Structure 1
Amino acid sequence: MKRAVFILLRNPLSVLGLALVGLVVLAAVFADYVAPFPDHKGAVVDFLNFNKAPEWPYLFGTDLVGRDILSRILFAYRISLTLGVVVLALAVPVGVTVGLIAGYIGGRTEFVLMRVTDVFLSIPPLVLAMSMMGLLEPSLTNGMMAVTVMWWPWYARLVYNLTRSEREEGYVLAAEVIGASRLHVMFREILPNCVPSILTKMTIDFGFVILIASSLSFLGLGVQPPTPDLGSMVAEGAKYLPDSWWLTVFPGLAILVVVFGFNLIGDALREILGVEQ
């Protein structure tokens, strides 16, 4: 723990990433209390203050129906973080299990599982998600499903490569000699040695999950109005550039902050855990 804190504090970028993510999480959790206009997260109309440039009390300006953009960004963070947690909570166990089985058992099992994984990896992630969302009704739940389907193969490939390099190590052979089952060897012996790489990838991927989800919303395939979402806010504001620049710039910066923060934390975690790039 002391070593981890030392490595974290000696790198200003790591501290910056931790601060950015911490602020985003706190803002999302306590959005009902810190947002200047909490009721603006829904279908609120205030034509007396519509399309206002940034000024007090609307620090980020207002949209075309008079809703405070700062308040909507804070609530959009809550949705984005929830989506990231759910997607990784579903995708990581599936990908890790597939990678462990393919890498340790080998043979026909390895061939079938990894060829299925390769099929998913051969399709550009955003295209795959768009294809799924084109068949489903645009919603937060369906968006989570679409992103999950495109995310598990990356963990399957990562854990597969790690397992292949670990299965000939002495501790694995020793476990096999004493009669340990395949499940025990995979999940009690090999998996703990894969955890540092998995955690590092999860931290970096968290930001990219939010970015992909925002891209789907930008195309109208994600969270639907009036629910605030960073991608849909950028898409709506892009129609009125450059005059009403605040409609796009501030939601875009909000996406940049969260993705940048998680990437910085991921780099710090890689150094702390000693994960090779």
Structure 2
Amino acid sequence: MIRAFRILAANPLSLIGFILVVLIVFAAVFAPWIAPYPTHNGAVVDFLNNNRPPSAQNWMGTDLVGRDIFSRILYAYQISLGLGLVVLAIAPPVGTIVGLLAGYMGGWVETILMRLVDVFLSIPPLVLAIAMMGVLEPTLTNAMLAVTVMWWPWYARLVYSIARSEREEGYVLAAEVIGASSFHIAFREILPNCLPAILTKMTLDMGFVIIIASSLSFLGLGVQPPTPDLGSMVAEGARYLPDSWWLTVFPGLAILLVVFGFNLLGDGLREILGVDE
């Protein structure tokens, strides 16, 4: 742990990413206590203060119905981080199992599983998510499902490439000689060597998952009003540029910060875990 912090501290950009992620997570978790107007995360209107520019009372201005944008961004971080955590709690295990089986077993198992992965990877991720959301009702649960379905093949491809190279290593051959089961070799011998790459990719993917989720909301296919979401806030304010610039600029900067933070942190984690580029 001490070595990890030393490596992180030696890389200023990774340290900045770590600080950004910690601050964003802290703001999301404690949003009810930090937000100046905690009731503005729902169906609240205040037409006397609608569409106000940034001021001492409203640091990032107010939206078209008078809700404080800063408060709504803090609550939107809860939605974005929660969605990212759910997706990355489901997609990596599914992809890892598929990649391990295909990479170690080989033969017809490899052919069937990897052709299935190729089918999913042949479709642009956002297009696949939009297609699913066009059929399903636009809710947070369905948005999570859509992003998860498009995300697991990338982990399958990553783990497959590692497992395929590891299956010829001496420790795997030794395990086979002593009669270890295929399950033991795949999940107890090969999987630990895949974990650094998986963890690094998960950190990097957190930002990309949030971008995809925000893109769905921007198109009206994700989280629905009045629930605060960064993508829908950007979409709502885009119609009033450049006059009411704060409606779009601040939610857009919020997306930029979270993606920037997780990407920089992912680079640092790659260095800590010794994962090759």
TM-score by length of 2: 0.99
Deviation at 1:206, TM superposition (A): 0.5
**Residues 101-121 of structure 1 deviation map (CA, whole Å, 9 limit, x = unaligned):** 000001111001000000000
**Matched residues in 2 for 1:124 and 1:77: separation?**
26
CA RMSD of aligned residues (A): 0.5
What is the aligned partner in structure 2 of residue 128 from structure 1?
128
What code does the residue aligned with 1:152 have? W
**Matched residues in 2 for 1:158 and 1:45: separation?**
48
The answer to whether 1:30 aligns with 2:43 is no
Deviation at 1:56, TM superposition (A): 1.4
**Matched residues in 2 for 1:225 and 1:178: separation?**
60
What is the aligned partner in structure 1 of residue 17 from structure 2?
17
Structure 2 unaligned blocks of 5 or more: none
**Matched residues in 2 for 1:185 and 1:65: separation?**
59
**Matched residues in 2 for 1:11 and 1:197: separation?**
19
What is the aligned partner in structure 1 of residue 40 from structure 2?
40
Aligned pairs, number: 277
The answer to whether 1:192 aligns with 2:189 is no
**Matched residues in 2 for 1:22 and 1:104: separation?**
38
**Matched residues in 1 for 2:11 and 2:22: separation?**
17
What is the aligned partner in structure 1 of residue 249 from structure 2?
249
What is the aligned partner in structure 1 of residue 104 from structure 2?
104
What is the aligned partner in structure 2 of residue 80 from structure 1?
80
What is the aligned partner in structure 2 of residue 206 from structure 1?
206
SS at match of 1:236: helix
Identity among equivalent pairs (%): 75
SS at match of 1:256: helix
What is the aligned partner in structure 2 of residue 118 from structure 1?
118
**Matched residues in 1 for 2:204 and 2:191: separation?**
20
What is the aligned partner in structure 1 of residue 263 from structure 2?
263
What code does the residue aligned with 2:99 have? G
**Superposition map of 1:134-149 within 5 A:** 134-149=134-149
Deviation at 1:2, TM superposition (A): 2.7
What is the aligned partner in structure 2 of residue 164 from structure 1?
164
**Residues 115-147 of structure 1 deviation map (CA, whole Å, 9 limit, x = unaligned):** 000000010000000000000000000000000
**Matched residues in 2 for 1:6 and 1:34: separation?**
31
**Matched residues in 2 for 1:26 and 1:3: separation?**
25
The answer to whether 1:94 aligns with 2:94 is yes
Deviation at 1:3, TM superposition (A): 2.1
**Matched residues in 2 for 1:131 and 1:34: separation?**
37
What code does the residue aligned with 2:103 have? G
Structure 1 runs (4+) greater than 2 angstroms displaced: none
What code does the residue aligned with 1:106 have? G
**Matched residues in 2 for 1:180 and 1:192: separation?**
16
**Matched residues in 2 for 1:52 and 1:130: separation?**
34
TM-score by length of 1: 0.99
SS at match of 2:14: helix
